[in-house]
Amino acid sequence: MRESIHKYFKVGLISFMAYPSTLRGTDPNGLDVIKKVACDDYFDAIEVTWMKDDAQRAQAAKLLDVAHMKVCYGAQPRLLTTGLNANDINEQGRLAAEKTLMEAIDEAQQLGASGIAFLSGKWEEATKEQSYAQLLKTTGNLCAYAKTKNMTVELEVFDYDIAKASLIGPAPLAARFAADIRTKYDNFGLLIDLSHIPMTRESSEFVVRTLRPYLTHFHIGNTVIASPELEGYGDEHQRFGFPGSANDTEQLLEFMRVLKNEGFFDANNPYVLSFEVKPWKDEDPDAVVANAKRVLNRAWALLED
């Protein structure tokens, strides 16, 4: 493409994945991570998560306001690090998950985010429809609360039987769920991640076309999925080019080509397109982020006008 990617997308970074010390919301250096991203003008958007220290959160909010960035709030760590499940068939468990997600909406508002993203939880075949009903209940309550603040709620589509083993996806089930929620709430959308598409055994074209009416947000990254014997197998979001991995420049180019063909290049209201990459073992986070920029730059350069 001859034109800048920044015309059509708000390019972002999921700060708590690139710098995983911040995942649990207690890193005393969490503000430094946000400052690093905020001062990098490659990024138009930043995705942050919980910060348990009120003073630190207030400082982060001020910094992000000064940086004039699009702020997104990922509530996934509030579930993944605690074992809470938004579709828990035990009602007390579901309520606990809902409570932390309601708190996430409040924190997101404080940080200047326009909404939150979360994920569905684990499920069993015998109680799948019951889990689905529980997720409808949680999501509906979140959307209703977010609506009072003029905020949005997004559900990220994950793998359903490998690593996170989440209820939503695959893509057809995600479409069914989004349609059910949209009958009552217009502030709901789906978030898809290039990293997860190989894990659901689907293609970029199939996922984007199936979910097209509901897509509001995109992540790009990598995964190792060819064999359980390979290092890093599962949902680990390794850097592009990681040995045995599924995604690199070619796959990202195809993903971008599908987004273009399906009408997601919107200069007037750009979608957020964020890197979800994570250092493997002792890899340097800054080098991993630079890797992701290079791959996106190359894929964008190869994309046809």
The answer to whether 274 and 45 have CB atoms below 8 angstroms apart is yes
Residues forming a β-bridge with 122:
166
Residues forming a β-bridge with 119:
156
Angle (CA) 228 229 234, round 5°: 35
Give the domain range for residue 152.
Answer: 5-302
Question: What does the alpha-carbon distance between residue 47 and residue 166 come to, in Å, rounded to a whole number?
Answer: 21
Number of neighbouring beta carbons within 10 Å of residue 67: 18
Tokens (6 digits) for 203: 């293609």
> Distances from the Cα of 60 to the Cαs of 107, 123, 246, in angstroms?
11, 36, 35
Question: What does the alpha-carbon distance between residue 250 and residue 239 come to, in Å, rounded to a whole number?
Answer: 14
> How confident is the model at residue 169, as a pLDDT?
87
Type of residue at 253: L
> pTM higher than 0.75, yes or no?
yes
Q: Is 139 helix (H, G, I), strand (E, B) or coil?
A: helix
Residue indicated by tokens 């996806």: 169
CA atoms within 13 A on the CB side of 292: 29
Torsion of CA 270, 275, 276, 277, to 10 degrees: 180
Total domains present in the chain? 1
Question: What does the alpha-carbon distance between residue 166 and residue 119 come to, in Å, rounded to a whole number?
Answer: 7
Sign (positive or negative) of CA dihedral 247, 250, 252, 254: negative
> How confident is the model at residue 267, as a pLDDT?
97
> How confident is the model at residue 125, as a pLDDT?
94
Domain containing 57 — which CATH number? 3.20.20.150
Q: What is the pLDDT along the chain (305 residues), one digit of tens a residue?
A: 999 999 999 999 999 999 999 999 999 999 999 999 999 999 999 999 999 999 999 999 999 999 999 999 999 999 999 999 999 999 999 999 999 999 999 999 999 999 999 999 999 999 999 999 999 999 999 999 999 999 999 999 999 999 999 999 899 999 999 999 999 999 999 999 999 999 999 999 999 999 999 999 999 999 999 999 999 999 999 999 999 999 999 999 999 999 999 999 999 999 999 999 999 999 999 999 999 999 999 999 999 99
Cα 2 off chain centre by: 28
